[in-house]
Structures are given as C-alpha cells and as structure tokens.
Amino acid sequence: TAETKSVMTLPREEVVSPLTGEPIVQYQGVTKTFGDLEVIKGIDLALYPGEKMALIGPSGSGKTTLGRMLMTLEEPTTGTILIDGEPLWQMKTSSGKLVRANEKHLRRMRQKIGMVFQHFNLFPHLSVLRNVTLAPMSVLGLSKEEAYQRAVEMLTKVGLQDKLGEYPSRLSGGQKQRVAIARALVMQPKVMVFDEVTSALDPELVGEVLEVIKEIAIDSDMAMMLITHEMDFARDIADRVIFGAEGRIVEQGSPEAIFEQPESERLQSFLKRFR
Ligand code: ADP
C-alpha cells in the first residue's frame, strides 16, 4: 500500500532513531585535515543521552580522530562540535558574542567526556588506587576520602577490588585496561569514548575487558561511543551502529539492519572480513 511504501522509503536513520531528547553530542559539518590529508570529510552526527553507539569501519577511516576531537585532543578544521548544546571550541562572552574558547572553557567541557584508549597510559609509579584517585582530587577537588570511596566503587565494578595497592607493572594487560576504565568512570562523565580498547591485548585477555564494558553499558545511562573491530560486541551492546569509510558515514542503523541487511557494497565487503 501507499502507506507501507512511504515507510519503506524513509531514510534508514529516521526509521531507527529510538532515542529522543536533546543530543548530548553533536558533530555539525565537521571536517579535519592533517597537512594535505582530509581524514574527516564532513560529519553530521548526534549522540543521545544514554545511547550506546558503535563506530565501525576500515582502519584509517577517521574513527579515532572523531573520538579525539571530543576530548579536545584534536580541533576540527571546519564545523562545530556541541556538547550539551554548547560549542566545544567557542564560548559566549558576557555580551553574548561567540569567541574562541579559553582553557577554562575547554577544561569544563572536557570533564563531560571520558576516554579509554588502546594503550592504557597508566602512571607506572602510582598504585592502582592512586591512578584512579588522582584526577578526582586534582581536577574535581574531591577530598581524599571522597575520591577513595568513589575509586574503590569503580575498581570493584571492574573486578579489581583486591588490586588497590598493586602497581601497573604487576598487572596483566586486561587488568591494566580495566584500571584505565575505572579511572575514566570515576570522573562521572556524561559520555564515554572507548577507542579500540582491546586491540593491544593478547587474545585471551580481550573477553574480560569486553565483559566489563558490557556490564557498564547495561547498568548505566551514560552515553557511549564505542570504536571497535569486535563485531559481535558491537552487535550485542550498541543501540545504533555507524559504518564509516574514508572520513564519511556510509551507512548507519540498528545492529540488526547493519549486520543482517547491509545496503552498501562497501559495508557488505567490510563485513565479509569478519565472517
Ligand atoms: P581509524 O581510527 O579509523 O583507524 P584514524 O582517525 O586513526 O582512523 O586516522 C585517520 C587518518 O588520519 C589516517 O590516515 C591517519 O594516518 C591520519 N592521522 C591521524 N592522526 C594524525 C596526525 N596527528 N597527523 C597526521 N595524520 C594523522
């Protein structure tokens, strides 16, 4: 019928968007160029409160760069990123004029985002507990007791309650990565970015880290952006999957749509590699 036909021809993102409300993150017309190389070629993308979004695609397609821009580790060449409706790189003066953000503005915005990287970057000379309490004390100004309490709670969540006094060098890669996750969570960000967090791990350690992330995804209403090559993991926990290639979003949709009914030839051939 005409009615079903009009539904069928709606762009996929309008059909699947399950989440409403104001986006917590918005990329608007974002491009990024390194030297002569344009790695992000115009991205419009919104992440909604509580949404778990998986970003998949070939290496070099710009996924990490998208994540790093949220953390202010890279600045877009053109376009804007809004967090909670506020521009990341610009701020309003008292007279309402938009000017370039100062360090104070960036620091405040950065606190809304937590990021876990492929390499854990723990402080080797600090115990597990001190690695996790450091930022809550120095950045959020929590007392030692408050920071300790929060840190123990997060380290328990990632299953490391019996490693508080241990030093990173005595932990396995999987344990180190779980400390890094606790360290990001303890700041209570609104959005967590997980960037290929299992890529540097020995295969037998991948499972424990994905399991921890899955649990966090299930019992928290934090928004998440998961950059991953683990397709089963993406399918399991994502509300929406974004497939990007060469700096553009090629296709997006529910895990079922993306993995069972990929439309573009590019996504089809990308997925074949994981079969
Ligand atoms: P992905 O995460 O999808 O593998 P990246 O965002 O890491 O992709 O990289 C996209 C492209 O940008 C790659 O070609 C990479 O070499 C390049 N690139 C990333 N960061 C820099 C940088 N700081 N300077 C120059 N080129 C970079």
CB of 59 within 6 A of ligand 1: the answer is: yes
pTM: 0.90
C-alpha to C-alpha distance for 239 and 18, rounded to whole angstroms: 8
pLDDT bin (cut points 50, 70, 90) of residue 19 is low
Query: pLDDT tens digit string along 153-207?
Result: 999 999 999 999 999 999 999 999 999 999 999 999 999 999 999 999 999 999 9
pLDDT of amino acid 275 = 78
CB of 62 within 6 A of ligand 1: the answer is: yes
CB of 254 within 6 A of ligand 1: the answer is: no
Query: Of the residues 31, 37, 39, which should be mutated to test ligand 1's pocket, given the most ligand atoms within 8 Å of the CB?
Result: 39
Round the average pLDDT of the chain to a whole number and report it: 92
Is 4 a residue whose pLDDT tops 90?
no
C-alpha to C-alpha distance for 181 and 17, rounded to whole angstroms: 28
Is 2 a residue whose pLDDT tops 60?
no
